Structure 1
């Protein structure tokens, strides 16, 4: 666990231009034109990084690390900015797909250099605790560190509550503040001795970072573990899906409507130690190292499973 006081605001990005310039792919799950990703693009490019923005044509929240298998339509919307849609061009591609496409574009643009980093975000809304697994923002970061594209690229997922409202123009939001923090934290990673000495990756051991920035002025930064308590829209709630009428009584061939029926209160949920959901609720920026492996450990369970006689 680590607590670090930060001076937030105009002075946050001082020294940014002294950091090593990186080749960065930028994606998200809200859509290529939304304030969060545009704020991140602006701050990274002003700091001297080479950035290719490759995001879904429109919002694809809740898509986790899903990929598109069929054809795509990639449109150059602005200099070094691309939207990615499924064939037909009416629906955005998955964030993971968009990020991988961005890697190919950046590699071609730089004459064969692999990306140094993928940043996914800034997402409009936190991705902490039990809701993290379903996030397209985090899913794009997980896809980046996997070898599905033939390489593992370090990644950062960055999300924020109430700073990058999609309904507000960028200049009327506080989204730049979150982008400047992300740049500051990236500079901190670039100063890690093992990375500076060439002994380790920017983010080691095939990990990514899931960073969440709270509403208001943060209390500080906490390095945390992914909690279990679901937080949605700043509330400790889960969602109940199901049939609006009794599906158990349907005749074969009958259809019933359904969807989200309501919410489930998790306000009294006791989370694990050092949970990001707890720290985030207390007003801290949270940083969680994550990985894409589904290996659950559980050696005791494995030992018993190995006794199955086939």
Structure 2
């Protein structure tokens, strides 16, 4: 009998979020699940780690879906670090993060706690996937993408992952029958045009609310943004070696030792 894979599940929306509960439901069909996730929302935390405060981790049981589930006071990256180094007695066969409430396509991958958790698992040598649905509502329809989550995860387990790579998977906000399929893409060239709403509190102290507009500068039809806008699921292979290899030759032409 084939041994079931050990699957680490985490997210950045918090352990009680509907997205992670949907992900757990799918993963239970595939293997043995251990959940280590934040006890509160941690969206936009990127690859932050807790170094100036204590971490608390409590074993809990939310809905009897899993036998081993932990709620952590830290960031998504803290959750993966704790899981790998303290809580799990063996290395997981795969780590899945999400399903995030909202898009993590294009430049959003930099800010995403969901994807940072996957990247941290990748750094530990664990195959990892971040899943996100382009719907920020708490009651988003995750049922529409469960079959795709299952298929992508099974493919990663069966085929292995390229070395130094994790997957950034984004689902369009569409019904099950409206999704056209899956496209392997590159990350679109886009940015956030930042705006700050400046206000004054009753004590006369100025404060700011961060706001902004997403600007897609990329007109290519091989990007994640194009895929999502045209009814496809985007799968982007993300590397955590941040070296700009193409720039090394240029920098070597500078007179750095003069």
* Structure exhibiting the larger radius of gyration computed from Cα positions: 1
Q: Hey, what does 1:259 align to over in structure 2? A: 209
Task: For structure 2, list consecutive stretches of 5 or more residues without a partner in the other structure.
Answer: 62-66
Q: Distance in 2 between matches of 1:19 and 1:63?
A: 38
Partner SS for 1:182 = helix
Aligned counterpart in structure 2 of residue 153 of structure 1, from 126, 136, 142: 126
Q: Which residue of 1 aligns with 2:34?
A: 52
Among candidates 121, 125, 133, match of residue 110 of structure 2? 133
TM norm structure 1 = 0.72
How many angstroms apart in 2 are the aligned matches of 1:140 and 1:55?
A: 10
Structure 1 residue 115 corresponds to structure 2 residue 92 = yes
1:60 aligned counterpart, secondary structure: coil
Partner secondary structure for residue 65 of structure 1? coil
| Separation (CA, whole Å) in 2 of partners of 1:185 and 1:290 | 15
Residue deviations 1:71-119 (CA, integer Å, cap 9, x gap): 211111213111101xxxxxxx1111112222345532xxxx2111111
- Contact 2:12/2:37 (CA < 8 Å) preserved in 1? yes
Residues of 1 paired with 2:187 and 2:221: CA distance?
10
1:303 maps to which residue?
252
Normalising to structure 2: TM-score of the pair? 0.85
Find the aligned partners of 2:70 and 2:186 in 1 and give their Cα distance.
34
User: How many pairs are equivalent?
Assistant: 244
CA drift at 1:19? 8.3
**1:41 aligned counterpart, secondary structure:** helix
1:81 to 27, 49, 69: 69
Displacement of 1:239 after TM fit? 4.2
Secondary structure of 1:222's partner?
Answer: strand
CA RMSD of aligned residues (A): 2.4
Quote the residue 2:181 is aligned against. 220
CA 1:19–1:228: 2 relative to 1, 3 Å: farther
